[in-house]
Amino acid sequence: MSPKANAGMIRLIRRFPEQQTQIERLAKEDLEFREVCLDYEEVAQALTYWRQPSSASLVSKIDECETMLQALETEALQRLQEAEAD
């Protein structure tokens, strides 16, 4: 797993600590889930950058990043549920 994907996995574990075991297992076994972890980390880093105090015009970028994070969280949780069903 790439360092960024690993960082994304850790962020997901912090966000959903009750799912830690499943997140770790799926991150090892499922390439697409690792891609979700990677995307999650990249969007989280972008959100951190856009939240830095610099301009009020960045509100739309912050909203966009927050929406993307929520979508990635939903996808991650769906994949975890699908993996549990298998």
Over residues 63-74, the mean pLDDT reads 90
pLDDT at 64: 85
pLDDT at 44: 93
Coil, strand or helix at 30: coil
Could you give the count of Cα atoms lying within 13 Å of 24 in the half-sphere of its Cβ?
Answer: 6
| Cβ atoms 22, 84 nearer than 8 A | yes
Q: Read off the amino acid at residue 83.
A: A
Question: Tokens in use for 51?
Answer: 């939240």
| Cβ atoms 23, 9 nearer than 8 A | yes
Per-residue pLDDT of 29-57, as tens digits, reads 999 999 999 999 999 998 888 787 766 66
pLDDT at 16 over 80: yes
